Chain A
Amino acid sequence: MKGARASRTTIALKLGMAISGIIFLGFVLAHMYGNLKAFAGHDAFNEYAEHLREIGEPMLPHEGLLWILRVGLIAALVVHVYCAVVLWRRAARARGTKYVTKKQTGATRASLMMRWGGVTILLFLVWHLLNFTIGKVNVQGGATNDPYNLLVDTFDVWWLTLIYLVAMLALGAHLHHGIWSAAQTLGWTGTAAKRQRAKTVGFVVALIVTVGFSLVPLGVLAGIITK
């Protein structure tokens, strides 16, 4: 084909999704680690939050590294969503006429939920940032300048806990297929054994992330994490 460019292909878009997805995975694991500090009590949790803002000082300004990471995450989000939208529209066009009867033989449920699951996670992300970072919403009306107390106040409300638990299930399903899929897109699964390994890693990491994040709201619900 005249003028064919590798960087303009659908596979290049998939590579964009895989690399940005791996960046998110790194973030999510670090975030989960920070959340689990809630089990160490009020001071440990808040100190960790403060330390995040002090990393690299005095070489970096206050919150310097945090902003570098934030810019990186925003860039990854733009790439991930842009590639997903382009590929979603292309897939819809490629199967313009639907089947009257179609079975999804060979497909896992998680693999079929990637797009709407991704939209769910994106909507949750908006709420989550309003809740804890940008807006600092405390539905109980308490203080919002104390990260630990805001966390406890939030998860004392059953329906907020429910939103977070559902979101973590969506994230788990997304990672379950997404991690192995990224490995496949990057060309790391050239044999049946490597493919199985990537799928196992995907499932285990997804399980760790879902359980790890859910422990904190469940801990508040169970009265283990209190003010």
Chain B
Amino acid sequence: MKLTLKIWRQAGPTDKGAIHTYQLDDVSPDMSFLEMLDVLNEQLNAEGEEPIAFDSDCREGICGMCGLMINGDAHGPEVTTTCQLHMRSFSDGETITIEPWRSEAFPVLKDLVVDRSAFDRIIQQGGYISVNTGSAPEAHSVPVPRDDAMRAFNVATCIGCGACVAACPNGSASLFMGAKITHLGELPQGQPERDSRVVNMVAQHDAEGFGGCTNIGACTAACPKEIPLDVISQLNKDLRTAIKHGH
């Protein structure tokens, strides 16, 4: 495959940055998207040009580290992570535009790498339960209805990649928060901190500069883990309940 790549290059956080165009002549359709970028970087290295910085870690779709805006879709045209996207999803001779996530809360560090610490700070505000450590308690001592457990498990698959924020026209992180709120809210262990969790997480979300949700649904379409939109309903409901409880 021959490809024309239009890639965002930015030397550092304060650099203005611009789109650069590269040609790649010998791409296998079986390569992953990141392997294709690895090949491009080897080519750039050989030419003495600075390789393109991009994030990746596990390369098996479970860590949430990679994430690129590919032809206007977060993680590209398939419902998966960037690392699990393959070049067969593109056609020979295609022009591919690659940009970093765009969010004021995710500042660009270099080229395609953004700082997603804002997600960590949201989690620190309530994405946990407070329990005494020690020997693991007997699992059957706290019964959990099957449907609740399934819903909690399904939304706990969120890997915090940030595609929801990147895809959202409002730059909102509501799907990310909703996934965590629903995950912990469905389980008995999540109940004691339920009200303070939602209030603190949303307050941190707002302080980080994320936008408000307008229920467009671009987030759930971009989510590699297919987190459904009803977690945002749950998030809103939990906040409404917290208001009722005087938080």
Contact surface of A with B, Cβ cutoff 8 Å: 1, 4-15, 87, 90-91, 93-108, 111-112, 114, 177, 180-181, 184-192, 194-195
Contact across chains for B239 and A105 when beta carbons are under 8 A apart: no
- B216 and A99 within 8 A (CB): no
Q: If A99-B102, A101-B99, A105-B73 touch, does A1 touch B237 (CB 8 Å cutoff)?
A: no
Give chain B residues whose Cβ lies under 8 Å from the Cβ of A111.
Answer: 214-217
Return B234 CB to nearest CB of chain A, in Å: 6
Nearest residue, chain A, Cβ from B71:
A101
Contacting pair A91 B217 (CB below 8 A): no
Q: In the complex where A95-B169, A97-B102, A101-B72 touch, is A187 in contact with B206 (Cβ < 8 A)?
A: no
B232 within 8 A of partner (CB) = yes
Interface residues of B (CB under 8 A from A): 6, 8, 19, 69, 71-73, 97, 99, 102-105, 125, 167, 169-172, 198-200, 202-207, 209-222, 228-230, 232-240, 242-243, 247
Q: Are B230 and A94 in contact, CB atoms less than 8 angstroms apart? A: no
**A1, B202: Cα distance in complex, Å:** 10
Asked whether A190 and B237 contact (CB < 8 A) given A94-B103, A105-B222, the answer is yes
Inter-chain contact B235/A11, CB cutoff 8 Å: yes
CB-defined contacts of A98 to chain B, threshold 8 Å? 102
Pick the residue among A90, A97, A101, A190 that contacts B97 (CB under 8 A). A101
| Contact A12/B200 with A101-B99, A103-B71, A105-B221 known, Cβ cut-off 8 Å | no
Residues of A within 8 Å of B234, CB to CB, are 187, 190
**A139–chain B nearest beta-carbon distance, Å:** 37
What's the Cα separation between A6 and B69 when bound, in Å?
A: 33
Q: Are A187 and B240 in contact (CB under 8 A)?
A: yes
- When distances are taken between beta carbons in the complex, the residues of chain A under 8 Å from B169 are 91, 95, 104, 107, 112
Determine the chain A residues whose CB is within 8 A of the CB of B240 once the complex forms: 11, 15, 186-187
Cα distance, A29 to B172, chains bound together (Å):
32
Residues of B within 8 A of A6 (CB): 198-199, 202, 239, 242-243, 247
Is the Cβ of A195 less than 8 Å from the Cβ of B104? no
In angstroms, Cα B210 to Cα A155, docked, is 46
Minimum CB–CB distance from B233 to chain A (whole Å) comes to 4
Complex: chain B residue closest to A11, CB-CB: B239
Q: How far is the CA of A192 from the CA of B151 in the complex (A)?
A: 12
Chain B residues, Cβ within 8 Å of A14: 212-213, 236
Chain A, Cβ-Cβ closest to B242: A6
Q: Which residue of B lies closest to A96 (CB)?
A: B104
How far is A190 from B247 in the complex, measured between Cα atoms in Å?
Answer: 22
B141 to chain A, nearest CB (A): 28
Known: A1-B200, A14-B212, A108-B217. 11 other contacts (CB 8 A): A5-B199, A9-B203, A10-B212, A95-B103, A95-B170, A97-B102, A100-B19, A103-B71, A106-B221, A188-B237, A189-B233
